[in-house]
Structure 1
Amino acid sequence: MSHADEAHGAPPAPADAALAAPATDSTPDTVDGIAFARLYGEPLFKLPTDLYIPPDALEVFLETFEGPLDLLLYLIRKQNFNVLDIPMADVTVQYLGYVDQLRQTNLELASEYLLMAAMLIEIKSRMLLPVKKADSGEEAEDPRAELVRRLLEYEQMKLAAQRIDQLPQLGRDFLRAEVYIEQSITPRFPDVNSEDLRAAWADVIKRAKLVQHHKISREELSVREHMSSILRQLQNARFVEFSDLFDTSKGVPVVVVNFIAVLELCRETLVEITQAEPFAPIYVRLAYLPA
């Protein structure tokens, strides 16, 4: 913008207006380095002076071991060493390096690892000494033999534990199915439907046909009389089996009239037909009159 434009109050050019009031934040993400973080959307290039960070706040464990044998086995397997011929010098140096880092953070935890480090140093020193034959003439035992035995046993137990952990576990891989069944306090007997009554009636007719009389006679049968006879029979017993109400020796006509009498009593709600459970015998009893 020229001095003449400023004197006459001319509006600023579009490019100058964009520089005066940018539409978006033009602050770079990094300035001579990488930002530590963002605070309310703004890059933070140095830590605040009043911010206290505990020494252990940023501590990260990349590898965790369950003990000295686990660490030693990890160092051997990671570098594809033969467990039966361990290069003690390389393994001891790497092991001591890990123990030194561990001692700086947790001396209590490092005590167990220090014991294994002493054993490694002892084995290494014994291997440096000249080998002496035993009095019996046999070669002396390899100083690494006991350590190899412990490593192989530990590896077997560790692999077995991993296989067991892969098995389905209750609460982790599956849940136990639970079904709630509501049980009523008072037992409710199943209702007798027409199909059950028809099957019972068919069984009575079948047994009635087994007894045949060759005497031909005309007999007048009264349904009311049979109804009274059935009521008298039910008064002497609490329950009477359905088939016991029929005297099959008197022939089919008497049985038919007797069955009609039972149906009439049911229609007039003078008797009840029930059974204890499905496919159980059918019983007849007097109907209980309401108080």
Structure 2
Amino acid sequence: MQDEQAAPSDAAGEPRQLSFALVYGEALTELPQDLYIPPDALEVFLEAFEGPLDLLLYLIRKQNIDILDIPVAEITRQYMGYVELMKVARLELAAEYLVMAAMLAEIKSRMLLPRSGEAETEEDDPRAELIRRLQEYERFKAAAEDLDGLPRIGRELTVPCLEAPAARARRLLPEVSLEELLLSMAEVLRRADLFESHQVTREALSTRERMSEVLERLKGGAFVPFVVLFSVEEGRLGVVVTFMAVLELIKESLVELVQTEPFAPIHVRIRTSESLEETSP
């Protein structure tokens, strides 16, 4: 017997019509007369099974039947009803559904056959193989549901992906002792000595050129201090070249040296014809 559902009523107690849709804010309580809905416009499948064992397990759990004491006749009737429903819905039946239907029909026929007491004790229960397969499938299905309940990346968990910053490798400085540093310095100096080379170049100063320079400075005929002829910037080489130039000029009787008293300053003068007559006997 099916109970009738009472229609909702407003505050005054009068029945109120339910609206099944809102169009532009207005509630619709009746379908339009010119609305055509094809018969196959919408199909809803509330249950989906992954095979015949899944279907049998669903039927057993739905009626709270002990899996060890399956009423084969009732389960077979419900199973075949579902198979017929799938045919009406134009679903392609897999071969395993038909195999299971044949297996249930065989078990049902064996259960309906009359058997003696001795045959019942010797013959196994026709449902034993089916019960074993259902128990095994139930264990695997429970394990699959437990695995599906675990957190999954992309469903419950989201792994952030960020670009790692450019890492710079830190170079560790080696520990060097003072003794190792001194040995390395000595090795560098030893290698430098191997690449040393001596180059002999012509001297930039010439005695002949310095003789001409001295005569140019003495051209006026006056006495010039001997120390004025030397230049400190030329260094030792300039002093030697200038001294040799003066000696050559004295040797060639082109200049003369004059000193009034011992340890007095020495002066240099160019020799003229008059000075030559004064010195001649």
- Normalising by structure 1, we get a TM-score of 0.47
The structure having more radius of gyration, on CA atoms, is 2
The higher-RCO structure (CA 8 Å, 6+ apart) is 1
